[in-house]
Amino acid sequence: MAHALKEVFYEKPKQALGAHPEDARVSLSYLSIAFIALFIGGVLGLLQGLERAGLMQLPPWLNYYQVLTAHGILLVIVFTTTFTIGYQFANLSHSLGGLLPKVRKLAWTGLVLMVIGVALVTTTIVMGDASVLYTFYPPLAASPFFYIGLVFLVLGIWACCFGVFINYRHWRKNHPGEPAPLLAFFAMGVFTLWFFASLGVTVEVLTLIPWTLGWKETVNVLVARTLFWSFGHTLVNIWYLVATSAWYAIVPKIIGGKHFNEKLIRLVVILLVVLNIPGGFHHQIIDPGISLSIKFLHVFMSLSIAVPSLMTAFAMFHVFERTGRQKGGRGLLGWLKKLPWGDVRFLAPMIAMISFIPGGAGGIINGSNQLNQVIHNTMWVVGHFHITVGVSVVLTFFGICYWLVPYLSKRTLTKKMNKVGVIQTIIWTVGMAIMAGSMHIAGLLGDPRRTSYTTYKDHPDALSWIPYEYIFAAGATLLLVGVIIQVYAVFHMMFLSPKGVTEFPAAEPVADAAPAPLWTERWGLWVVLLLMVVAMAYVVPIVDMIVHAPPGSPPIRTW
């Protein structure tokens, strides 16, 4: 008992006394920007949905593709990035006993760089100079300031990456022979993957700046697209890795259980870090200029990402079953009834996990060579993206808010706010189910994505898509209601909820668990393996694209 008290008050003071105020300020600042971006991006999403269904016409000063670009950048890059950094720095602060002062400075530097970047990017979009969609690859060309803004965003992310690496290394140096805490291990995986995934897109953006400034006449479109997708798809998997950190290390505590075998959890993180980057190539299965053998190699690389996901499915079901049975659940599935469905901190991530079943299955379809030809560039892809990022990732993020924000702001989650969260989760789930579901069906019928409302001169096929497009719009309306409730909940918990102490719900291993294996801490080796996999996947095709390059493209502005 005395030893336990000594450990709590002398060795883990920050865990005992809640979030360090300065660390909490860092995380809360990032979360505030995240939810402002979510609100603006959500409003734009509804406008887009209504325009796409032909239910409203945007004013002449607001182009559909402008709205589409802003919606994508604000939600897929700004919201997810800032939320992840806020959440991961809170995890690091809690599990490593506080952030180092220089790491805190790096986090603030990152925030300033990102704000400058977002300001430049959004200004160019609002001015109508950057309707190049979230993917922003050539031949579409935005204002050079758009790409300069992206450089600032990347620099901000790198500042945070270096902060995480420094803090992690410092902890390991001071705790020889000890594996880092699980949540810190996840943070290390997330930021390692982020850093290496961003290298390709940085090269692309640095190529596009002189091209849009007129210093260079043409650009190799295929190389640029390849560099983008080495980042574009990995980014989605970075958010997925962030979500899995909560599934593995937080949710078990919330349901009153213990986390799964730490060796398997760490192996999942390592596999996701090592295998992920080449997965983006399946976005180019239909691209000309890439040989069939390379495409088949990449089908294999893309599908390999499913392995750690299936391990996660098994591990999480086992944690739920074990906990449910310990609480008296009997029979084949009786344990499900014992899970705390009324607790938003569980309900939201649980629905997120369930949605990953069709989401992951859809991903396997997208990554399969022939099947990709059925769904390529159709609304199926948009539906897939919304069910994976919009539910599996974002609903997990929403669930995290209901303990993280009160913990950081030294307030409590009230019963009333929990109820608000449950209602929000239901609205979000229904909205996303009908929107993403109808998008999947419309996509299978051939409805193209990235296209404003059109009936293609009343072609019967195009007319058959319209009922589904009405359903998109209905779903998008519900989702905006969900966004408003969530933004209200986050800022209420930040500034208005009753003062008090909220626990950081980090799960612990079972009593007789073996210690986490030290070999998992060989980050140098994981990075070498990552680079080898990337080299295997990219060196031959990129050299081929450069050596046998078709004529380059000048900048094209279609709007």
330: contact with other proteins by CB under 8 A = yes
Selected binder of other proteins within 325, 410, 492, 557 (CB under 8 A): 325
Tell the smallest beta-carbon distance from residue 472 to other proteins (Å): 20
Report phi then psi at 442, rounded to 5: -60, -35
Tell the smallest beta-carbon distance from residue 226 to other proteins (Å): 25
536: contact with other proteins by CB under 8 A = no
296: contact with other proteins by CB under 8 A = no
Rounded to 5 degrees, what angle do the CA atoms 296, 301, 304 make?
Answer: 125
| Count of residues in contact with other proteins, rule CB under 8 A | 29
For residues 493 and 405, the answer to whether their CB atoms sit within 8 Å is yes
199: contact with other proteins by CB under 8 A = no
Measured torsion, CA atoms of residues 106, 19, 402, 324, in degrees rounded to the nearest 10:
120
Q: Is 316 helix (H, G, I), strand (E, B) or coil?
A: helix
How far apart are the C-alpha atoms of 437 and 431, rounded to whole Å? Answer: 10
CA 403 from chain centre, in angstroms, equals 19
Residues numbered 109 to 168 that lie near other proteins (CB under 8 A) are: none
Q: Which is nearer to other proteins, 364 or 549 (CB)?
A: 364
Per-residue mark of binding to other proteins, 42-81 (x: CB under 8 A): ----------------------------------------
Q: Which is nearer to other proteins, 40 or 441 (CB)?
A: 441
Instruction: Count Cβ neighbours within 10 Å for each residue of 294-328 and write b for 16 or more, e otherwise.
Output: bbebbbebbbbbbebbebbeebbeebbbbbbeeee
How would you classify residue 330: left for phi > 0, otherwise alpha for psi between -120 and 50, otherwise beta?
A: beta
257: contact with other proteins by CB under 8 A = no
Tell the smallest beta-carbon distance from residue 308 to other proteins (Å): 14
For residues 67 and 47, the answer to whether their CB atoms sit within 8 Å is yes
Q: Which is nearer to other proteins, 158 or 240 (CB)?
A: 240
Within 8 A by CB and 6+ apart from 242, the residues are 84, 87, 88, 186, 190, 393, 396, 397
How far apart are the C-alpha atoms of 156 and 2, rounded to whole Å? Answer: 44
How far apart are the C-alpha atoms of 127 and 145, rounded to whole Å? Answer: 11
According to DSSP, the residues that pair with 219 across neighbouring strands are 553
Q: Which is nearer to other proteins, 46 or 319 (CB)?
A: 319
Within 8 A by CB and 6+ apart from 194, the residues are 157, 161, 238
Tell the smallest beta-carbon distance from residue 251 to other proteins (Å): 15
Selected binder of other proteins within 59, 60, 101, 370 (CB under 8 A): 370
291: contact with other proteins by CB under 8 A = no
Selected binder of other proteins within 362, 390, 399, 482 (CB under 8 A): 362
Selected binder of other proteins within 364, 426, 434, 487 (CB under 8 A): 364
462: contact with other proteins by CB under 8 A = no
Tell the smallest beta-carbon distance from residue 475 to other proteins (Å): 20
Q: Which is nearer to other proteins, 16 or 510 (CB)?
A: 510
How far apart are the C-alpha atoms of 366 and 403, rounded to whole Å? Answer: 35
365: contact with other proteins by CB under 8 A = yes
Cis peptide preceding 60, ω within 30 of 0: no
Q: Which is nearer to other proteins, 17 or 361 (CB)?
A: 361
| Total count of residues recorded for the chain | 559
Instruction: Count Cβ neighbours within 10 Å for each residue of 133-152 and write b for 16 or more, e otherwise.
Output: bbebbbbbbbbbbbbbbbbb
Selected binder of other proteins within 221, 375, 382, 420 (CB under 8 A): 375
How far apart are the C-alpha atoms of 487 and 351, rounded to whole Å? Answer: 19
Q: Which is nearer to other proteins, 15 or 323 (CB)?
A: 323
How far, CA to CA in Å, does 502 sit from each of 6, 400, 402? 21, 13, 10
Selected binder of other proteins within 444, 506, 527, 529 (CB under 8 A): 444
How would you classify residue 491: left for phi > 0, otherwise alpha for psi between -120 and 50, otherwise beta?
A: alpha
Selected binder of other proteins within 358, 383, 406, 555 (CB under 8 A): 358
Three-state SS sequence of 329-358: CCCCCHHHHHCCCCCHHHHHHHHHHHHHHH
307: contact with other proteins by CB under 8 A = no
Selected binder of other proteins within 9, 300, 317, 341 (CB under 8 A): 317
460: contact with other proteins by CB under 8 A = no
252: contact with other proteins by CB under 8 A = no
How far apart are the C-alpha atoms of 277 and 255, rounded to whole Å? Answer: 34
Q: Which is nearer to other proteins, 294 or 364 (CB)?
A: 364
204: contact with other proteins by CB under 8 A = no
Q: Which is nearer to other proteins, 25 or 325 (CB)?
A: 325
335: contact with other proteins by CB under 8 A = yes
322: contact with other proteins by CB under 8 A = yes
Q: Which is nearer to other proteins, 317 or 559 (CB)?
A: 317
Stretch that binds other proteins, among 3-11, 177-185, 297-305, 373-381 (CB under 8 A): 373-381
How far apart are the C-alpha atoms of 351 and 402, rounded to whole Å? Answer: 15
310: contact with other proteins by CB under 8 A = yes
Tell the smallest beta-carbon distance from residue 506 to other proteins (Å): 23
Stretch that binds other proteins, among 226-234, 306-314, 515-523, 524-532 (CB under 8 A): 306-314
264: contact with other proteins by CB under 8 A = no
Pick from 270, 278, 277: which is nearest to 308 by CA?
270
Stretch that binds other proteins, among 369-377, 414-422, 426-434, 537-545 (CB under 8 A): 369-377
Stretch that binds other proteins, among 26-34, 235-243, 352-360, 481-489 (CB under 8 A): 352-360
For residues 435 and 479, the answer to whether their CB atoms sit within 8 Å is yes
Residues in contact with other proteins by the rule CB under 8 A? 310, 313-314, 317-318, 321-322, 324-326, 330, 332-333, 335-336, 357-358, 360-362, 364-365, 368, 370-371, 373-375, 444
